[in-house]
Amino acid sequence: MHCPAQPSAQLTALHSSMHCPALHCTAQCLACPVLRLYCVPAGCWIRGEGSMCDSRSVRLTESVFFNQKSCQTGEVAMAEVAVQSRSSRDAAVQTDQSAVPDVQQGACVDDSGVLAFLRRVEEVVIKELNKNVTSRAFDGFDVNWTDQNRTVLCLHTLSYPEAQDQHLQVTGVSWNATGSVVACSYGRLNDGDWSTEKSYVCTWNLDRRRLDPQRPDLVVDAPSSVMCLAFHPSQPSLIAAGLFSGETVVWDTSKPEDPLMWRTGMTDDTHTDPVYQVHWLPDAKHGNHVQLLSASTDGKILVWREERDGRLMVAEGFALVAQQIPRSAQLRKLVWGEAAVGVTSLSFSHFDPHVFVVGVEGGFSLKCSTAADTPAPCRTGGSVPLRAPAELAFSPHSGPVYSVSCSPFHRNLFLSCGTDGQVHLSSMLQTQPLISLQLSTKYLFCVRWSPVRPLVFAVASGEGDVHLFDFEKSSQKPAVSIKQAVDECPVYCLEFNTKQTQLLAAGDAAGTVKVWQLSSDFTEQRPREMNHLEQLASELTD
């Protein structure tokens, strides 16, 4: 046996009359030649003489416990030999993340023993379970482990003066995988023209001490307006962005001289319209690998694969065509042939990796699946056949849907918001929304569920406000409304920070990104929130 503090030291047995001098411990002591004493099997270190066991080491008098020995091996015979390989072959090995160990692996199961044990404890456990169900002991009992913060305050106001001089707007914000870096993309959202104006992607590291809100840590130039942005979910330095020209690019922020890693280029496969949403998709085949997905108003949703020369090639794709949208008996009012199917937003379900919800320019949301098989008619030539993913169409908004978000806590709930100023909370099981909230007379640009509280979501409005809604407090009006901009400058995008859950970043049309610190109301889950959420989700109308 080895000494746990000095792994190279071998423990030796002491004289048999030596027992642990600590009170209540009757174990036989062993000597560690470096630290002098260690007791097994109770595992206690001894401090002093006769005091209580604790886990610190001690040196006792050498004459009593210490016994040093040394030894020398006999003559060791050696011979020298040389070897030369004549032919060689290259081979590569790659480890994959190992699967979770099986529950019953390595445990020799004695069924009759388990049965006897279960019979013994069954009564006690059932009695306790019943007591819990009827108990009122903990009603209204709440424990606060952390200091409660009552206010919402603006921690940082970040901007890039050069971009503001060009009157560029913040079109996307994203937090990185570690939650310490916020990136924002500059571009124009209200410009219908085909422009070749340069724009920027800026990152700030909020954990740096000398954070200068006017000077980003890294500024990356983009050849045209950047419309959307997404950080890689596990590698903290990769950002993907979708451009106005239809390209998708990936930058590596850890290489400031040449951050461009991959780009799609302008091939037959790339989007012909601005890319409004990029998303990193966990690969179904290789568990750790993620692929890039982009959605654009030309109706195509493409999944990209990285090639060696820095290009992105299409791995698979989906196309939404008006004739292939599933019809529902209740939505008779729409004229299908003329409804536009440009995709403006996309959100993947957190529970089922194949299911995603898409928001469309025509105003309705679609439930789609990556496992769909039916091919979509392709108007332009592409190298990869596109499939039609739509499965169910939901009741429409009266205007384009700008943002959809699937709930991280319930598999069927999702939010959608659009230009009619309404937010719909819908369930994937029915076409009519569960709750419709008229929040604003202007457009609503972004809606996001909170990553920690199942009943909270945030909405960015065209009036310059960020509304935080809490279904537990009120289902009619917002719990908190944060005024981001003084004049009515719309807030275009917002993101919660999943690692530091009290932070919320929002970007507006004046070119500033504000990082808000939320009050503790919004960062800690309440005891019965999941039940409330389940209740909301099950109020389906027939």
Partner 1 sequence: MVVNAEGIPIRTTLDNSTTVHYAGLLHQLTMKARSTVRDIDPQNDLTFLRIRSKKHEIMVAPDKEYLLIVIQNPSE
Q: Would you say 391 and 381 are in contact if contact means Cβ atoms under 8 Å apart?
A: no
Q: How far is the CB of 288 from partner 1 (least distance, A)?
A: 15
Q: Would you say 455 and 537 are in contact if contact means Cβ atoms under 8 Å apart?
A: no
Q: How far is the CB of 480 from partner 1 (least distance, A)?
A: 22
Q: Give the separation between CA 344 and CA 417, rounded to whole angstroms.
A: 11
Q: Where are the beta strands (DSSP E) in 326-434?
A: 343-348, 355-360, 365-369, 386-387, 390-393, 401-406, 413-418, 422-427
Q: What are the residues facing 514 on neighbouring strands?
A: 157, 506
Q: Which is nearer to partner 1, 43 or 385 (CB)?
A: 43
Q: Which is nearer to partner 1, 142 or 193 (CB)?
A: 142
State the SS3 of 30-81: EECCCCCCEEECCCCECCCCCCCCECCCCCCCHHHHCCCCCCCCCCCCCCCC
Q: Which is nearer to partner 1, 82 or 121 (CB)?
A: 121
Q: Would you say 452 and 501 are in contact if contact means Cβ atoms under 8 Å apart?
A: yes
Q: How far is the CB of 294 from partner 1 (least distance, A)?
A: 32
**DSSP code per residue over 440-460:** -SS-EEEEEE-SS-TTEEEEE
Torsion of CA 283, 285, 286, 292, to 10 degrees: -20
3-state secondary structure of 337: helix
Instruction: Give CA 63 to chain center in angstroms.
Output: 60
Q: Which is nearer to partner 1, 122 or 307 (CB)?
A: 122
Q: How far is the CB of 133 from partner 1 (least distance, A)?
A: 5
Residues that bind partner 1 in the complex, under the rule CB under 8 A: 24, 100-104, 106-107, 109, 113-114, 117-118, 120-121, 124-125, 128-129, 132-135, 138-139, 143, 525-528, 530
Q: Give the separation between CA 227 and CA 173, rounded to whole angstroms.
A: 10
Q: How far is the CB of 211 from partner 1 (least distance, A)?
A: 34
Q: How far is the CB of 287 from partner 1 (least distance, A)?
A: 13
Q: Which is nearer to partner 1, 128 or 207 (CB)?
A: 128
For 45, phi and psi rounded to 5 degrees? -85, 155
Q: Which is nearer to partner 1, 80 or 111 (CB)?
A: 111
What is the side-by-side strand order in the sheet with 444-449? Answer: 444-449, 456-461, 465-470, 480-483
Instruction: Give me the residue label for tokens 């998708």.
Output: 248
3-state secondary structure of 327: coil
**DSSP code per residue over 387-401:** E--EEEEPPPPSS-E
Provide the token pair at 224.
């045209």
Q: Give the separation between CA 259 and CA 469, rounded to whole angstroms.
A: 38
What's at 145, amino acid-wise? W
Q: How far is the CB of 445 from partner 1 (least distance, A)?
A: 34
Q: Which is nearer to partner 1, 130 or 441 (CB)?
A: 130
Q: How far is the CB of 144 from partner 1 (least distance, A)?
A: 11
Q: How far is the CB of 531 from partner 1 (least distance, A)?
A: 8
Q: Which is nearer to partner 1, 83 or 124 (CB)?
A: 124
Q: What are the residues facing 301 on neighbouring strands?
A: 295, 318
Q: How far is the CB of 279 from partner 1 (least distance, A)?
A: 25
Q: Which is nearer to partner 1, 41 or 192 (CB)?
A: 41
What residues have CB less than 8 Å from 360, skipping those under 6 apart? 320, 339, 340, 341, 342, 343, 344, 366, 400, 401
Q: Which is nearer to partner 1, 34 or 114 (CB)?
A: 114
Q: How far is the CB of 100 from partner 1 (least distance, A)?
A: 5
Q: Which is nearer to partner 1, 89 or 120 (CB)?
A: 120
